[in-house]
Amino acid sequence: MQFLGQSILSIEQFDRAGVKTLFDTARRLEPYAARKLRTSVLDGTVLANLFFEPSTRTRVSFGVAFNRLGGFVRDTSGMQSTSLTKGESLFDTGRVIGGYADVMVVRYPEEGAVAEFAAATNIPVINAGDGPGEHPTQALLDAFTMEKELAARGKTVDGMHIVLSGDMKYGRTVHSLSKLLSLYQNVRFTFVSPAELRCPAKILDYVRARGHRVEETEDLAGALASADVLYATRLQKERLPEGTSLTYSEGFCVNRALMDKAAPKDIIIMHPLPRDGRMGANDLSDDLNGDDRLAIFKQTDNGVAVRMALFAEVLGVADKIEDTTRPVGWFVP
């Protein structure tokens, strides 16, 4: 695949070679993301970071990734602060911002909307989540983390049993990650969800068509017995049709008791975050904090290097990163 000047709207744009290129660049950028080295390869560039839906880590990590390459960031946050509330079209907004910035990151609550921004401009647009559609950069940082964590256990993603649990219907990270993992060989997928939140058939078909084994169940404990990775997710309450009230039953709560009882000892526990810590949410429990199996903060840390790599590839500077390398002169713990 080609990165230069491209918008990144869906994981379907990637092939295995493209993933390898990106991850090789991300590995080179890890010391910069960890503030062991600095580079100013994107000196003078501007990122427009437009988030029309709530976000903490995705918005900040995109901005930080751009800053750590030496670029400037302009943010908008929320619908209310923008002219979309005055009736402006996505096309007009996309066209206007395209005249100001070198690259745009967009999160929007409707599937397909980020593609509308991309159609309005000739600068690259990166999808940071379009409603229940896709979240390609989250999938990339998830797969990057999986590769690293599995390698530490002497394994590769090929041949693994990946259990995805929670809201498979509205969870866009699951949709993008399933497509991305389909690029690997012989993966076994188990989708665990309440009956109302099953994974869309188009995603299951996509994965099956690439030769992988796909199962669906409501029994998380049963699915975990042979799992190499658990990818748990939050109930996407904001996407439920009005008047619907759904909650995860206790069987979906990923806590120490469940993992000790039902899962292999070297399982990798992942979650795109945020986890819902409210009473009765039955999301990933914080009683696993500090547990070696928990990779959630490795995911968030890796997100910076992976997003830096994507900017470097799309803006065509990946081979120039080291030209401006300098030491870091400030306090880094």
Q: Which position among 25, 39, 45, 58 bears the catalytic label? A: 58
CB of 109 within 8 A of CB of 236?
A: no
CB of 180 within 8 A of CB of 143?
A: yes
Based on CB atoms, which residue is closest to ligand NCD, 179 or 234?
Answer: 234
Is 148 catalytic? The answer is no
Residue from 181, 273, 288, 305 in contact with ligand NCD (CB under 6 A): 273
Is 265 catalytic? The answer is no
Q: Which position among 68, 107, 161, 212 bears the catalytic label? A: 107
Based on CB atoms, which residue is closest to ligand NCD, 70 or 109?
Answer: 109
Q: Which stretch binds ligand NCD (CB under 6 A): 1-9, 205-213, 218-226, 271-279?
A: 271-279
Q: 3-state class of 86 per DSSP?
A: helix
Say how many CA atoms lie within 13 Å of 220 toward its Cβ: 27
Q: 3-state class of 218 per DSSP?
A: coil
173 makes contact with ligand NCD (CB under 6 A): yes
Element (H, E) at 18: helix 16-33
Residue from 25, 45, 49, 58 in contact with ligand NCD (CB under 6 A): 58
- Positions of E strands within the chain: 37-38, 46-51, 72-77, 103-108, 125-130, 161-165, 188-192, 213-217, 229-232, 268-270, 326-327
Q: Which position among 59, 135, 161, 175 bears the catalytic label? A: 135
138 makes contact with ligand NCD (CB under 6 A): yes
The Cα–Cα gap between 35 and 328 comes to 7
Residues ≥6 apart with Cβ < 8 Å to 151:
none
135 makes contact with ligand NCD (CB under 6 A): yes
Give me the least distance between CB of 198 and ligand NCD, in Å please. 17
Give me the least distance between CB of 63 and ligand NCD, in Å please. 14
Annotated active-site positions, please? 57-58, 86, 107, 135
Q: Which residues bind ligand NCD (CB under 6 A)?
A: 57-58, 129, 135, 138, 172-173, 234, 272-274
